[in-house]
Amino acid sequence: MGWKLKTVQTILSILAFYITFAVGEDEEPRSECADFNNMTWLEYHQQGSKLQVQYLLLTRKNTDCASLFSQDFLSNNTYFNSSQPTKIIVHGYRALGSKPSWVKQLAQALLRVQDANVVVVDWVYGASLAYNMVVENYKEVAIQISVLINQLQNHGCKLESFHFIGVSLGAHVSGFVGTLFKGKIGRITGLDPAGPMFKRADTFDRLDPSDALFVEAIHTDSDYFGISISVGHADFFLNGGMDQAGCSRSRSTSMYSYVICDHMRALHVYISALNGTCPLTGIPCSSYEDFLKGRCLGCPGRCPRIGLLENSGLTVFPLPQPKKLFLLTTSAPPFCAHHILVQLEVFLLDKSAEVQVILRTGGHPETEQRLRLQTDGTMYSRVIAHPVPLCEIDSIQLKNTGAHFYRQGDIHVVSVCISEFPSVGEVEPLCVKKINVRRGSPWNHDFVQLCENY
């Protein structure tokens, strides 16, 4: 990044301030509704280093009004149903002691998909110190959560019915709860698991596949606030896991857009996936570059999908060792993009060249990709994200866009083909052959394609 703050601690302090405004503040809670602890640095240090973990419960019976929940209230709670699955949401670092404003949105998205108990872990007090001190606290938080889990077991809940959803540092809290229960927790979802102080940590100290029967993670900021290694059975690396579409790289934009937009994108994408507007499917591949070159186009069985499908839709048993899954997204909800593979074959060139490929669909922004052509190759391919499926693409355009250091004149194209993956059934690519692309004279071709044929 062009601009660096002096320390990770300073960055993380700013991060927590802007997360408060990332999704929009919750409405003022009604007096009878339970809410997060909210405190300032001064209040925290006046009260001392007490974790003061509390739990909030939301169900389909009280989606807008959380109730306090604990082992003491369990017998008298009219909302909790031990025969239903239980989702446990664990937030991460809160430098300024502010409550996470996204919690209700996530809880309600979960409840729309599944009739469940949603328990929100409020550990704002313990998460509001210097980052290194918060990391020292996270295992104690996990221990306190494990006490509650034991009590819930005594009331008929089964370990495999628990699904932890941990955001950033909350992912590692969830992982340690799983460690305490020897990996018998049903599922853990890590939303951009925290990277600082965890990238080189032992598996005992961070989220890993042994922490639950199924562990998944969504990575969106693995070069900065998130972790860059695989930590689950299925690890979704969105846009390579680093720079996200729509998150500014310019310091002139808002601090949120520049500092934590990438990190929080995992949360927003997960909520969008729960809303079920369109599928967010990952493709296994050894590297992001291989994925972009079209070297990984499908899965042995059904491709894993972000959301609440059992094991993310994986049908392979035993579950695989940590596997990287790649997918492209758009810049705004619902974030789903169609993976379009562009394949270009040219006759051998005398000099290097550059071709711009543009896909157009009425009513949608055009998609473009530049391919650099060398004198020692004839086959070029690239995966691009397009807002609509293959059969709805109206036209394709090729431009010979070489600058001063590209001296090739005409480019003689053997064929240009576009296809979509992963596909259901056999879908033939759309191809055009024998094209001559001249400098300054774009080549265009209209597609007449009916979606009913697919």
Whether 168 is a known active-site residue: answer yes
Which residues, other chains included, contact 241 with Cβ-Cβ below 8 Å and sequence gap of 6+? Answer: 219, 220, 221, 222, 223, 226, 228, 288
Give me the catalytic one of 91, 163, 263, 338.
263
Q: How deeply is 344 buried, as exposed, middle or buried, from its count of CB atoms within 10 A (0-12, 13-18, 19+)?
A: buried
Give me the catalytic one of 168, 222, 312, 419.
168
Whether 192 is a known active-site residue: answer yes
Give me the catalytic one of 192, 211, 221, 235.
192
Determine the Cα–Cα distance for residues 358 and 344; give it in Å rounded to an integer.
Answer: 13
CA atoms within 13 A on the CB side of 201: 21
List the beta bridge partners of residue 370.
356
The angle formed by the CA atoms of residues 131, 133 and 138, to the nearest 5 degrees, is 90
Determine the Cα–Cα distance for residues 447 and 196; give it in Å rounded to an integer.
Answer: 49
Q: How deeply is 372 buried, as exposed, middle or buried, from its count of CB atoms within 10 A (0-12, 13-18, 19+)?
A: exposed
Determine the Cα–Cα distance for residues 119 and 166; give it in Å rounded to an integer.
Answer: 12
What are the distances in angstroms from CA 39 to CA 42, 89, 90, 94, 174?
A: 8, 20, 18, 10, 24
Sign of CA dihedral 249, 335, 100, 50: negative
Cβ count within 10 A of residue 114: 14
Whether 446 is a known active-site residue: answer no
DSSP assigned state of 441: B
- Torsion angles phi and psi, residue 399, rounded to 5: -125, 135
Determine the Cα–Cα distance for residues 94 and 23; give it in Å rounded to an integer.
Answer: 15
For 26-33, the CB contacts below 8 A with 24+ separation are 26/99, 26/101, 26/103, 26/104, 29/65, 29/66, 30/65, 32/65, 33/64, 33/65, 33/66, 33/67
Name the token pair of 1. Answer: 């990044």
Name the token pair of 41. Answer: 């640095």
* Among candidate residues 35, 237, 15, 29, the one with its CA nearest the CA of residue 128: 15
The angle formed by the CA atoms of residues 194, 196 and 198, to the nearest 5 degrees, is 75
Determine the Cα–Cα distance for residues 149 and 121; give it in Å rounded to an integer.
Answer: 12
For 4-9, the CB contacts below 8 A with 24+ separation are 8/131, 8/196, 9/130, 9/131, 9/132
Catalytic residues: 168, 192, 263
